[in-house]
Structure 1
């Protein structure tokens, strides 16, 4: 039987997506599944589906922070509140889209998730983003030039449209074959499907 693929539709601006990112490698190791990280624009998904960030409902946002802290503690994941949240992630997601399929992709994903949720910074600030890329060993001008190309912008739009066309309404969203799973709290079901 062929190993399955877990498609992980992600935006680094989502703390629950960060929690999923931290847990996915162990799931892949246990199941033999491959991981396909697909950068999408969460704001674009919200706009296309009429969804909204959970924090817009005060009680839901408060509960979600408690719930994320519980998951982080249980899984021994460092999760810090980013004081600049919500952060416009379009440039970061274009950087990741431009790097997809290159050796830069995985270290860039790691650097940006870490700078959002482990050592929180305002990555919508261009100088802070450049400093973060430099500290991670990248030439920020090269990364940002690639991210600004029309083909990269188009690819991010297409990935976001792909997510919506398959039923995504937020992030993290996972596909295992034809099955869709939403939320880092559904990873046990993702693992079962991948196994």
Structure 2
């Protein structure tokens, strides 16, 4: 049976961006299937009483240095978004609408890049339209899909289901019933996949 990595994420998280930069390669190395589970991090925080690292100034400053370390290790660009925190409900709905389509992984790339590679304010419709168009996507079509009630409900259900499973932040990965939180736990994710072969 093919192993699966469930990736629960919100593009508003720079650590989720770093995890995303590595997970497709981990899936390829291990023969695992990467299953994307978009969630709303704000909803998770509200439900669990958690808060972003920046809510504690010393922790926020440390995290900034740590993000730079991991970006260097992974050899990926990381530019802090000057609009942070950005309301990510629209980009996360667009990603949810893309699940199961040929554009699924491309859409995740596009949204993460617009947050952490060439940062912009994705909460603005004009910026979303520009980002989608520049990526060769039909912005009007994807924004219409994102406003469909079924998509909205799916994203809400994903978030609620994540909280019920014990998720308190992003990125969170599951291999079977084993949960791994944080982009600094990717080695454990890969070990869990290899151990279950």
TM-score above 0.5, yes or no: yes
**What secondary structure sits across from 2:189 in the alignment?**
helix
Could you tell me which runs of 5 or more consecutive residues in structure 1 were left unpaired when the two chains were aligned: none
Q: CA deviation at 1:97?
A: 0.7
Superposition map of 1:43-82 within 5 A? 43-82=42-81
Superposition map of 1:1-195 within 5 A? 2-195=1-194
- Runs of at least 4 residues of structure 1 off by over 4 A? none
Could you tell me which runs of 5 or more consecutive residues in structure 2 were left unpaired when the two chains were aligned: none
Q: CA deviation at 1:48?
A: 0.7
How many residue pairs get aligned? The number is 194
TM-score normalised over the length of structure 2: 0.96
Q: CA deviation at 1:3?
A: 2.8
**What secondary structure sits across from 2:155 in the alignment?**
helix
**What secondary structure sits across from 2:43 in the alignment?**
helix
Q: CA deviation at 1:132?
A: 0.3
Q: CA deviation at 1:140?
A: 1.0
Name whichever of 102-111 and 164-173 sits farther off.
102-111
In 1, Cα distance between equivalents of 2:104 and 2:30: 23
**What secondary structure sits across from 1:119 in the alignment?**
coil
TM-score normalised over the length of structure 1: 0.97
